Structure formats: C-alpha cells, structure tokens
Structure 1
Amino acid sequence: MIAPQLTDALNGWLAQCAALNDAADHTLTAYRADVQGFLAFMQNHNGGAVGLGPIARITTGDMRAWMAHERGRGVGARSLARSLSAVKTFYRWLSEREGFEPTAVLTIRSPKFTKKLPRPLEETAARAMIDRVECQALEPWVAARDTAVVTVLYGLGLRISEALSLTAAQSPLPDVLRITGKGGKMRIVPVLPAARDAVAAYVRLCPHDLADGGPLFRGVRGGALNPRAIQKVMELSRLQLGLPATATPHAMRHSFATHLLTAGGDLRCIQELLGHASLSTTQAYTSVDAARLMEVYDAAHPRA
C-alpha cells in the first residue's frame, strides 16, 4: 500500500493523461501499475516513510536500487525501460505541481535492449496465406469470413483488433475507411478492390443477420468474432505452408508496410496508413528492408 497522498497524486496524473493526452484505458492501467510499483518500492526503501517529502528527495542511488530490484525479480530490459518512462513522466508532472527538483530521476538512463524488428512475410507467402486460410473451414461462409479478415489485414494494414471492430454498417466497404487505432487516434485507409470483394463474398454467404451497428465479422454462433479464431486458422495454414511461427495476424500488417516500402512507398505516408504516432516506429521497416537486402547480397555475391 502506498500513502493516500501519493495515491491522490497518481490519480491526478492519470486523470490528466486521460483528458489531455487521450491515453487509452489499457495504457492508463499499465501506467498505474508501473508507478504504483515504483512508489511502493521507494516507500519501503525509505524505511516506510510516507508522503511527498521522501519522494521529492529521491537520489540517483535510490533510482539505481529500484532498477536493480526490478531486474532482480525478473523484469526484462524492455519492460523496465517502459516502467522508467512512465515513472519519469509522472515525476516530471509531480515536480512541476509540488515545486521540487526532479533531476535525479529524469537523468537516469534507460536500460539498453535490442529492439525486435517486425517479421513480415514474403509477398508470395502473404498471398499463399490468404489462399490457404480458405481451406481450413468446412462451412463455405466461415471460409469466406477467414479469407476476408486476412485479406483486410494485409490489404489495409490493420491490426486484428481494428479489423474485428469493423461494423456491418461499413459493408459494402467504401473507397476509404476511417479507422480508430491505439489511443483513439483516427486515420483514413484506402480500401483495395481485393479487400472489398473478399468482404462482399463473405457477406453474401454469412447466415447471420448483419444488422447495422453490429460487428461485421461473426463467430459461428453469430456473436462478434474472437481474434483467437483467426490466429488458429493462420497457425494451421502456416504449418501447411511451412512458414515460421512469426506468420501471425500481426505479420500481415507488417507485410503490408514492408511491401509498400519495397515498392517505393513514402515512409511518411506509410506512417499515416499504419497509424503510428511516431515516425521512429515506422522506421523499423527500413531496417527490415535493409536486412533483407543484405541477405540477398550475401546469398548472391560471388566469392573467391
């Protein structure tokens, strides 16, 4: 348990994040857990002292002790870096509100970690995946549904949650879709004819009443389609195709971005299509493209 005064401060900061930064609910939940853990450690580290006073006097040694404690309980470098970012943001807000010096916390360096690069499929593999998912279902309408979902993931670069949030009112798919992504950010995505046709084929066969406002993609009993159903059908398909375990629904989104980049797409435009808040996130795809280029070079270059 942390002191009520600190709990009030944390609640005030989270309320501001929600109101001014439009942070998503799951983001706020992660922030709360990260900062609560930090404050609880500092409270115990200072002999159980409570209130804002001890928190305002945190030293670099205290910060190193917290980070060592987190690593000692198995927290990875990536997760610790995320927690530290939340703590710094909260601490900066608190210092401005209470008028103390935050340098000891804000100057602590984040732990280094190797960024995981996206694992896209080759273009031929992405097309093979779309063709193969149709073969997994016994009922034609389910086969058409699965094909439509995977086509939308690849053709529009959507997250699985975004694809499954489409409503029946959006069918037939228009020329462009307004997609609400992470953090409530809105973006406009062009709809390819292949995606429109795949969705239309599914709608024609679907036995359930696709009433306006209800979900577009339905489970076998008529409720909203569970993402696990698409994950499972792609697992079966990748095994049959001999593709790696990274051939997931999210890999179709990565493939969309990488294939656009390879074809000469502008990085800023791809950022907009994916709904990335920062260009640095989209720039990971340039590393993927460069890595693939080096693989081709190593395989093809004549050696003495």
Structure 2
Amino acid sequence: MTANAELQTLINAWLKQLKQRDLSSHTVEAYQRDVTQFIDFLAGHYEQEVNPASFDTLKAMDVRSFLAKRREQETTQSRSLARSLSGLRSFTLYLSEKDYPVSSAFKIVKSPRIPKSLPRPMSQNDALQMIALAGDVSSRPWENLRNQALLVLIYGCGLRISEALDLSYGERPKPDNVSVRITGKGKKQRDAPILPLIADAIQQYIKAAPFDFKDDDPLFRGVKGGRFSARQVQMIV
C-alpha cells in the first residue's frame, strides 16, 4: 500500500472499529482490499504518496476512473463495484468523524446498477450481515440503532417494510410481549410473534433517540422527527 504512516494508522483503526461492530470477517477483508486498491490507484495516478489530505481533494472523476479501471482490468461485476463504493464511503465517513475534511466525491458518484434477478429468501447469514452494516451508515449513533432495530423487527417477524413503518410508539413490541398486532394490506390484522432480542433492540433505539415519544407518534422516525420512509429504508439495505 502506498499510504503514509498517518493514513495507515487511520485505516487500521477503522478496520478495528468495523470488527467491533460485528461485521463479518469477509466484509471487513473486502472493505480493506477495496480501500487498498483505491489508494494504490491514487498513488499511481498522481505519482505521489497518499495521505489523509488526499481525500479532501478527491474529484468525482477520480472515483469514476477507479471504478472504470477495476471493471476493465478485473471484469468486476456491478455488485462488487457497488460494494467497493460502500467500503470507501464507510472509510471516508470514519475520516470525517475524526475531523479530517473529506470531499463530496463519493456522494456524487452513484453506485453501479445491479441487474435484477428473481427474488430469493434471505439467508440467516445475509440478514445478520445486513443488520450489522445498517449500524454503520450514520455518524449519529441513534440512527444506527434505529436502522438495526427496524431490520431486526422486519426480519425477525417477517414483516413488510410498510408494516413496520406503520407502527406507532404505542404499538411497539415491549419486553414482556409475546406478539405484536400488525395491520397489513386490506386492513387485515394478524399477531406476529416477538422474540426478546427484537424488543430489546427497539428499546435501545428509543432510549438513544432525541425525541419525547407519545403513543400516537410513529415508532421509527427520521432526523426531523417525522415518520421514517420506505425510500430511506431502501437506501440503507
């Protein structure tokens, strides 16, 4: 890697943080490889050592050129390129949290379109990995807890996104509940069984959220306090 000592120290600290957040070893290794390849690309492109300040002067064209080179040299699929962007965005978010200025290049560049395939049931490992990743997308800890609580509820109870988002604070799963009443399509109601870990995840989110909840308020809320939207959920997953 052609990163200077300061940047290498930051990368190591970021990887350590990812492991502490229970990301799978496969994901951590992939993210490390993606950042290494990007830094090597920058060093070769600009013929100089890469340091933290390099991420402040990045242009969208730099990111697009890196993705194009990977696609050309490795015949990399869109899904892998999208993951690369996810890893690089995670690292630049970490830099920002450590008060290093970062350019908006990664926000400008859109993820490659992934070809649609027939839907298949999500495996347990995939679900756990998705939940872990959802806890690492925001610089606000309460938002990460909300994201994880929402996905735990959806996966653990087999809910549609809209069904989970329609829940009010008063309808929330509580630690002593064995089920939660869900209103689905056509206003049909059913009772979904609740595991203790689901109620615990929701309780952690509620404690961390900067809101005074009332029974009629939406359970899952956005930054401004309104109901969290399905579009925002899709951006997380």
- Look at both structures and tell me which one has the larger radius of gyration over its CA atoms: 1
What is the TM-score with the length of structure 2 in the denominator? 0.50
